[in-house]
Amino acid sequence: MFLANENFPRPSTVWLREAGIIVRSIQEDFPSISDKQVLQKAINDSLIILTFDRDYGELIFRHQTKNPPAVIFFWKRVLILYLQEKFCLLLYKRTNWNLKTLLPL
C-alpha cells in the first residue's frame, strides 16, 4: 500500500510495519534508483509514496505523469516522531483509500 522513498527514515518504516501497515522500502529493495524509477514503481504497484523529497510534484505535474500515485510529503524531519504516531493511527483506522485524491473513502 505504501512505498517509503530512500530518504524516508528506516525507523519510521519499521514502526509503521510494526503497527500493521504494509510498507515497501526503496532503501531495502531498490537503493539508489532515480526518482523517476520510484515514481514508476509506485504507479505500477499502486503504492502511495512516503517521502521528504519535493521533486515528485515537478515529476508528476510538470511532466504530466499519467495516472500518478499519491505522494505524502513530510516537510520537516523534526516532526517525524509526532507525525508517525498520528499517521499510523490514521492508517490503522482506514483501509480503503482513493489514491487520486488521498482522501479516505
For 25-80, the pLDDT digits (tens) are 999 999 999 998 998 999 899 998 888 887 877 888 877 777 767 777 666 655 55
Q: Which residue has the higher pLDDT, 96 or 78?
A: 96
Read off the pTM. Answer: 0.70
pLDDT reported for residue 33: 95
Residue 85, CA distances (Å) to 5, 34, 90, 94 in order: 19, 29, 9, 14
Provide the residue range defining the domain that includes 77: 2-104
- The CA distance from 55 to 31, in Å, is 17
